[in-house]
Amino acid sequence: MPVVLLIRHGENEYVKKGRMAGRLPGVHLNEKGIQQAQVLAEKLSGAPIKAIYSSPLERAIETAEPLARALGLEILLRPGLVETDIGDWQGHTLKSVRRLKIWRTVQNAPSLMRFPGGESFADSQYRITREILEICTQHQPDELIACFSHADPIKLAVAYFLGLPLDNFQRLIVAPASITSLHIGENSSRLINLNIDYSLNLVKH
């Protein structure tokens, strides 16, 4: 199976201000996020990427657009790459939900967590890994593809393909606009790199 680049969307005002966007529509990249997307395109424009897939949320599509233009590829929307459904927590600040007792479950025992009015981490992990595997069946083993998604789904996918317990997935870090690379094998998968963040070199204003 191919090598998959799992790319998190760039910064937006929800990320910047510590709010949880979830699946809210109309969340767009901010100025820094637009810069991050451009840097990604510059870094990957010479890579032999055969296809670009994206979560249907705007912030993911906008992160993929500069790379798609650079490579002359269409962005193929895949609902399975969408953000975890955090239900009633959409729009809330991280500061407010960290006060809740259930936050301990989110951090220490996520396999037991289901967001109020949303999905469980287990459901989210099943969804994104099934989507990645289905995408991989459409490509040759030596091909390189890019999937633009969100922090928790990417971490959940990495945990699954490496055989890490679900309860340990929060130990992984996936920064905005970072690249995580996996070689998906038929019997086993390998992590090539985790959380490559080219935006660290952006000049702060």
Q: Which residues are catalytic?
A: 9, 83
- How far is Cα 205 from Cα 62, in angstroms, rounded to an integer? 22
Contact indicator for 37, 65 with CB cutoff of 8 Å: yes
Q: Identify whether the C-beta of residue 8 lies closer than 8 Å to the C-beta of residue 40.
A: no
The answer to whether 9 and 28 have CB atoms below 8 angstroms apart is no
Q: Are strands 3-8 and 75-77 parallel, antiparallel or unpaired?
A: unpaired
- The neighbouring-strand residues paired with 179 are 7, 196
Q: Among residues 62, 85, 44, which one has the least CA distance to residue 148?
A: 62
**Where are the extended beta strands (E) located within 84-178?**
144-149
